Structure formats: structure tokens, C-alpha cells
Chains A and B, each alone.
Chain A
Amino acid sequence: MSESKLDLLQGTLDLMVLQTLAALGPLHGYGIARRIEQVSGNAVLLNQGTIYASLVRLQQRGWISAEWGTSSNNRKAKFYSLTKKGRKQLSEDTAYWQRLSGVMGRVLSMQDEGETK
């Protein structure tokens, strides 16, 4: 039980990472984490450290690639960027999530109506 919940969370974080990289281009781990926090309006309580498990997973699947580089303030950091395969995966996952959230929204709002009446 707890495993499937974890899977869902993992999947969510993975998708967020992919989308962030798609939107902003190559980015280091801290940048990705900060960006997700900012965009979600700090609504996601993210332990920034967990991003690295997600990054290595995506990398092993070949969806993102990593390279050591230098940041704008001259610090060495590992920069991640989306691969072609990752881009394809992102569009598939995005479509899936949008369909799912649409369906979920409709189902949940139907239940709401049932209760108010």
C-alpha cells in the first residue's frame, strides 16, 4: 500500500523535474528544486535533497543527461538537461496527467454536488 503511494509521489516529482528542465533549459539540482518551490508557491513541501534520487533515476532511464559545468557565479555544479527521449516522455506524461486531473476534477465535483443536495 505504502509502496504505491510512494510510486505516485515519485512519478509526480519526476514529471515536475522534466517540466522544469523543458521550460528553463539546463539547470543544476539546486536550481531545479528552487524553481519547483517557487512555481508551486511553496505549496509543495519539498525536501530539496530528495531531488537527487529523482535525478539519478531519470538519468538512468535516459530521459535527462548530466554534465559538470560552471554556474553564473563561477561555482562548479552538475547541470542537467532534457534529452530527446525525455522530451517525448514529458509530452506523454503531461497528456496523461492532464487527462487524469480532468477526470479526477469531474468525478470529485460530481460527488460535491451529490452531498450538497
Chain B
Amino acid sequence: MIDWMRQSLHRFLSFFHKPQLDQELDAEMAAHLEFAIEENLQHGMSPDEARRQALVGFGGTEQAKEHHREARSLPVLEILSQDLRYTSRTLRRDRAFALISILILALGIGANIAVFSVVNTLLLRPLPFPDSQQLTWFAGSHGQGPLSGITYNVGSYEEFRRHNQSFQEVTTFQPFWGSSEYNMTGHGEPQHVQAVMVADNFFRTLAVQPALGRIFLPTECVKGAVPTVLMTHAFWQQQFSSDPAIVGQSITLDNKAATVVGVLPSSFDFPSVFWPGLRADIFIPAVMDDIRDWGNTLVILGRLKPGVSLAQAQAEANVLLPQLKAAHPEWFMEYTADMTSLKDYVSGKLRRSLIVLWCAVGLILLIVCVNLSDLLLARLASRNKEFAVRNALGASRGRLIRQLLTESLALSCAGALLGVGLAYAVTYYLAHQGSIVLPLLSSVRVDGTALAWTLAITLVVGVLFGIAPGLILSGANVQENLKDAGRGLSEGRKHDVMRSALVVSEVALSLVLLVGAGLLMRSFLRILDVELGFQPSHAAASTINYDDGNDGAKRGVILQEILRQVIALPGIEAAGVADMLPLDRNRSWGLLNPSRSYAKDENLSAIVRIVTPGYLDAMGIRLTAGRDFSWQDAANTEGVVIINETGARRHWPGKSPIGRLARGMGKDPDRVVGVVADVRISSLETSPGSEMYLLATEASPEGSELVVRSKLPPDVLTPMVMSTLRKLNPAQPATVFRPVQTLVDHSVSPRRFFVMLVSIFAGLGLILAALGIYGVISYSVTRQTQEIGIRMALGATAGHVLLGVLSKTLRLAMLGIGLGAIASFAVARWISSLLFRTEPADPATFGIMIFLLIAVACAAGFFPARRASGIDPMVALRND
């Protein structure tokens, strides 16, 4: 067996050393003859006789050489190399054809590799954790509503972790981005640092090993422990220049020292899995006793025991959670857990979009194949004689088809090479951009799987578009072509029918793409038209930092002073502070009308924003009744609240809530002073529920975002406001004003990404269809030159001829459009869940796309039609 492999390897290698081996054999054979002649001479032969006898004994030298070659090498490879040499010669001769085909193939294959890489990363590849299929995500409240609804309190997490039987580990982190912000001092300029609060077993559950140092010890996660931190690899590189000595040292966070116990590996990208588009710099231990009374602040994830299925774990939780609630009457809600694999949680929502994208790019590849088939057929027509000659010289039909396939495969391989380069560029861009908020995007790359996929599609494509010319050739009487000048009527007609069929399918496929892209585009425009509830233009936000000792009154004084000075700056129209911005972060408390009765299990949650006077103006949130907060409200004993229109309609139906009392959960009632427009909270596509605004002096904010309304650009605004803030608080970290519009842009970026890609593919499909139509019509005009000449000689006008060609074009296009429209209806229904306020059978989209396709078809048919109408009958008839 080994010997056999060794021999195969040698045979394969010797193919590449042909000249050297041949030379050696020649030398050896020459020596052989010399020996023989010498011996013959010794036996007394004459020199001539000695030479003759030596040659007789040796047998045919050429035969011996051929045997030797066959024995040492692979004949298949020899033929292939012949075909390839021939291919490269013919393609060099027809450079324009080769370039266009390779370019088209590179676009088609490159787009496929890039999309495959994205699909592979987001959908197919497991998450970047060992045995990641065991990782399970718990969604509270059936995954519906704001973050506060789907999270858990400390008690339920601890109790579930203690009593469950299904999981090796149950762990948690605090998912409210921005709620653990620190001001890091002592290392250059003060820095805003985003921390993630994680449980002691968080990294153990994910099976993440630190790159340096160690992970948290259980003793570091209890009340009173010395503060510790773990750093992400990126933060360590940027802030500490990858200094390994940092482990064991302490850094200063909010004026308190914390010991660095380790650095996480670069492969661990927390935001790309859990917080797409956001940032995490350090990890700190979640001290459960500190956050026990904070309400729902934790997400739960677990690692299943080997052999335990998700369904078993779900069944256990369905029984266990109500039991735990019964034992803990102090929990203010019934907890449920909808379990999914972590992978599903991360990319499940994107599955449909990604599959649509994948199909779209597959359609492009199909169109590319059809187009190249068409080009090859056109070429075949002009190569009839060449094949006839080769056939006459002894090449079998099989050998000719093999030659054709070699050519198409060589083209597709060249296209694939270029396409891989293209895909590398695209995936590099995707992995390093910051404006598309999709999970795992930072780890998108062309990997081994993608390259294997490339190889597969390259071969399939090469065979697919090489097969049509092969079929024509195999059915043709090759010899006939030698006599005929390529005008053979039946032959030409068969050719024409095949090419027409290809163009019709090309038009149909591109209509499907166009309609799909059109529907998605229309949905996207509808989303951009959504009433946001605030005015993002000319508003910018920046995180600010102050020390209020958690005292509401002190906070009021500080914020009032900051706002007074900021508003006094030139060019600032309004300014206000909120703890969270719309489309960014959210949390919910309760809201109810105390003089109304509610059903027992009615969902009374409302999104809460803790704001200063002026925030509504700065954000451009429209007041529909009542008034904004004022700093005088802070002095009154009675609390105040502003609610949104949905909340007003829901809790005070038919009445004005202004001046009435509203109750949050377990607090003194507040007086409703204003009603504002609904503000989109988590996405543009879901309408918000109840919302309320509380005054910053009366409730604890979760962070603070300074929002200013100004026509100044951010790079003017930032230094101006920053110097004011630094004057008030020297420890104010350097931050940059970001336009509020970026919140909107980030929120719609996944959809923009999909729409953009599908539209690009549709455009590509349209261009290819136009090329195909042009090729077919142009060829048929060339073939019918004589016929047209005769008709013109008999009195047909140029206009007649032009119309004739154009109507032929339109017939082809309409046939394709008819078939494509039927397919488009089916496809539109299939993607209807991705549409937003757009009917799958949207007449406008269908109409526009069909019109576009007809227009493009006419344009593509016009040039050959004009050429036909310009034919000089005399020249045409004299020709040939």
C-alpha cells in the first residue's frame, strides 16, 4: 500500500520534471547502445553491422521512450496539460472575451465567497467557545419587551443555579450597557472605561482561558473583597502597550484602586457575541449582595451537562421556577425562562435575512453561468471550422468536448482566483468597519471552509456553463462545418433557440432579484420614514461624569450648573441630560393610574428615562400637552412625571392625564405634568409601549448623557463643551460628541447592510441580463445580414428593420419577464416576514422593476437594431 502511494507520488512529481527525465533517459539509452556496439565489435562485426544489430536488439527507441514515460508519469495529466496549453493559446488570441468572462466570473464568485463567509460566521460556524452547543440562553418574559423584562433578579439567578439538575454551570452578567462606566485616571488622560459585571463562574462557563494571569476567584466576588479587574486584549494593547507586567498591578477606577488579575485572550470578543456594535474594556466581579435589591439586572446563561437536551432543561425550568417563586414571595414577578441555544440567541433573528442574502447571491451566480454559456455559444459559432479541422485531424468528439470543458474550467478557475482576492478585501472591510451592527461580524474572514466552498462552486460553475456548448457540439455534425461557412440553417436555428432560452432565463432570474431588492428597498425607506418621536438632526450627545455621592439634591445642583454653562456657550440652542438615549439602552419600571383597576397579570411596565429640564427640547421630543420639567419641581415635595401618548391613552383612556396622579411601582404617586410624543426605544420597527420621564433629582439615573441641540459640527462642539466640563470637573474623561443620528444609523444598519447587498446583486443581474440580450440580438443580426439585405432590397425601410429587431428583443424580454414575475410572486411571499409596511405583491415595486427591465432590454436591443437598419443591401448581398 505504502509502495503504491509512493509510486503514485513519484509519477505525479515526475510529470513536472519531464524535460530533465527525458534527457536522462536519452543519455542512458545512448550509453546502452554504445555498450551493445562495443560488444558486437568484439564479436568481430563490422562497425555498421555492430550498430545495426545493437539497434535491433534494443527495439524501437521511440517506443521504449513512450513506455518509459507511461510507466513513470500519468497520461491523464499529460493530456490535461496539452489541453491547458491549447486553452491558454486560444484565450490569449481572444483576449477581450477572456477578460470579460473572467471579470464576470470574479464578480459572481467573489460575491458568493464573501456572502458565504458572512453566513458561515454568523450561521454555520459554532460560536467561538469550546463545546458551544451546550451554551444556553435564558429569556425572561418570553423574550418580549425591554431589557428589564427579559432579565432576572439576583435571587432567582442564585436559586436557579443552586437547585437545577440540567446544567454544569449557570452564570450571569449585567447586560445594561453603560451602567458600569468608570473613569480611569493615572494612565495619561482620564479615560471612560466600559466595564461588564460578571459572576465568578462566567469565564469558566464559557471555557475562556485568560491570555495572562488568571480569572476571578470566588473570594473576589463577595462583599468587601478587594476590587479586581480583568482586561480585554484590545484594551490591554491600546492602554497598556501590551505590557505583561500589568498583571498584579492596580489601576484607578473612579478614584478607587483595583488590582488587575489577568488579561483575556484576543479571541474572546464579548461585544461581538453579546453587545453587537458596543464596547467592553474591562470585566469586574458582580458582587451579588451589592445588587440584590436592584430588581431585574441579570441575564442568565448556562452550560448544559453532557447528554442533557435543551428540551429537558426547559422542562425542568418550567417546573423549578414556579416552585422557587412560591418559596420567595418577596420577588415581585413570576419568572419564566425561554431557553434557546446561545447561538440561536445571537444570530437566530438574522437567519431569514442571511438565507435570503445567500439565495440572492446564488441567483447571481446562476445568471453569471447563463451569461457565460451564452458567450461561449457565441464563440463556438465562430469556432466551428477550428473544431472541424481538429476533428478531421483525428481528435474524437469526446476529446473536443473535453477541450471545451477544460476551457470553461480554466476560465472559472481564473475568475475564482480573482474572486477570492475580491472576497478577502470585502471581508476585511466588513470585519474592520464600525457602522454595521451585526453580531460576530468582526470575526468574518475567508477561512478554509470558505475556500473549500469556493473550489466547489468554481467546479460546478465551470461545468455548468461549459455544458451547453458541449451539448451543441455533441449533437452537431462536426464534419459538415468544414464545408459550410457557418450559415447552416438548421444548425444555426438550434443555436439560436438555445441562446434565446438562456437569455429568457437570464431575464427571469434578474427580475426575481430586482423585485426582491425593490421590496426590501421599499421596506427600508418605509422604516426611515417612521415617526421617531425625536429630531436626530442637529442633536449630539456625549457621556458626562460628575460625583454626586448618590444624592439627588446634590445631583440637581451639579447638573443645573453644567447645563447653565453649556447653554451659555455660543451656538448651543438647547441642552439637557438623560440617563439613557433612545435606540441605545433602555430599562423599564412600572406605570399605572392608581384610580383604575387592572387585571391581575396585566403588563404595566413602562420604559423609564431619568432626565433634566431641557432634555425634551435638546432631543426634539414634541410636547403634546402640559409642560416640561423645571428646576422648581425639584424643590417641591410632590414628585412629577411626564408620560408618552401611548401611556396616556392606555391608563387614562379618553381623558387628559395632566394634573392627575400616576404611580410607579412601590413609590409615592407623582403628578403628571406633561404628555410627549412616543419615542422609538429599541428599534424603528417596533412601536413603543408606555414610556415615562422622571426628574433627575427624584430618581437614580443609570449613567448620564449630555444632549445638546446645535448646528455646530461635532469637531467644533467637542473641544468647546469639553473645556467647560473640565472646568467644572477636572476628572471629566475625554469623550467625543456623537451625532444622535448615529443612533438611528446603527439601529437600521443591519437592514441597510442587507438591502445594500441585495440591491448591488440586483444591479449586477440587470447588467448581465442586458449583456446577454445584446449578445443574442447582435449575433442574430450578424447571421441574418443577407436576409435583411434582401428584404431591404425588396423595399423594407430602415424603420421596418429597426422595429423588427426591437420587437424580437421585446418578445424575448417579455417571455423572461412573464416567467420571472411568476417566480417573483413566490419569492416575495417567502420573504414577506422581512418586509416592513410593504405588501409582498406591492404593485408599485413590480411595475417599476418590470418597466426598468423592459427599458434596459430595449436599450440593449437598440444598438444591434440600429446596425441592422444601417445595412447596405448591395454590400450584404455581395458579401460571402
Task: Write the residues of chain A forming the contact surface with B, with a CB cutoff of 8 angstroms.
Answer: 28-31, 33-34, 47-50, 52-54, 56-57, 60-63, 71, 73, 75-78, 85
Expressed in whole angstroms, the minimum distance between the Cβ of A58 and any Cβ of chain B is: 10
- CA gap between A75 and B38 in the complex, in Å: 11
Given contacts A50-B59, A73-B38, contact A29 B6 (CB under 8 A): no
Q: Which residue of A lies closest to B7 (CB)?
A: A60
Contact between B31 and A49, CB atoms less than 8 A apart: no
B35–A53 touching, CB < 8 Å? no
Hey, what's the 0/1 contact readout for B32-64 against A, CB within 8 Å counting as 1? 101110110000000000000000011111011
Main SS of chain A's interface residues? Answer: helix
By a CB distance below 8 angstroms, the chain B residues around A62 are 3, 6
Please, how many angstroms separate the alpha-carbon atoms of A85 and B219 in the complex?
Answer: 66
Complex contact A57–B64 (CB within 8 A): no
> What B residues does A76 contact at CB under 8 A?
27, 31
A47/B58 in contact, CB under 8 A: yes
Chain B at the A interface: SS class: helix
Q: Which of B67-75, B118-126, B261-269 contacts A (4 or more CB under 8 A)?
A: B67-75
- Contacts A53-B71, A76-B31 known; list 4 others, CB within 8 Å: A29-B32, A50-B67, A57-B7, A60-B72
Query: In the complex the two chains form, is B28's CB within 8 Å of A52's CB?
Result: yes
* Closest partner residue, chain B, to A85 (CB atom): B3
Q: Which residues of A contact B279 (CB under 8 A)?
A: none
CB within 8 Å for A52 and B34 given contacts A60-B6, A60-B7, A61-B7: no
Q: Is B791 an interface residue (CB 8 A)?
A: no
Within the assembled complex, what's the spacing in Å between the Cα atoms of A48 and B10? Answer: 24
- Say if the beta carbon of B381 comes within 8 Å of chain A: no
Residues of B contacting A31 with CB < 8 Å? 35
- Interface residue count on the B side (C-beta < 8 Å): 31
> Which A residues are CB-close (under 8 A) to B58?
47-49
| B449 vs chain A, min Cβ distance (A) | 35
B29 at the interface (CB under 8 A from A): yes
A6 smallest CB distance to B (angstroms):
11
B738 at the interface (CB under 8 A from A): no
A-B contact pairs, 10 of them (CB 8 A): A31-B35, A34-B39, A48-B59, A53-B67, A56-B72, A60-B7, A60-B14, A75-B35, A78-B28, A85-B3
Interface pair B6/A47, CB less than 8 Å apart: no
Task: Tell me if B25 is interfacial: C-beta within 8 Å of chain A.
Answer: yes
Chain A hits for B64, CB < 8 A? 47, 49-50, 52-53
What separation, in Å, do the CA atoms of A62 and B35 have in the docked complex?
27
Contact of A77 among B3, B6, B28, B67 (CB under 8 A): B28
Question: What is the bound-complex CA distance between A75 and B57, given in angstroms?
Answer: 20
B538 at the interface (CB under 8 A from A): no
Report chain A residues within 8 Å CB of B27: 76, 78
Say yes or no for B11: interface residue by CB 8 A criterion: yes
Q: Which has the most chain B C-beta neighbours within 10 Å: A47, A56, A73, A85? A: A56
**CA gap between A53 and B59 in the complex, in Å:** 13
The answer to whether B35 touches A28, judged by C-beta atoms less than 8 angstroms apart, is yes
A61 to B7, CA, bound (A): 5
In the complex, how many angstroms separate the beta carbon of B63 from the nearest chain A beta carbon? 7
Task: Point out the residues of chain A lying under 8 angstroms from B72, CB to CB.
Answer: 53, 56-57, 60
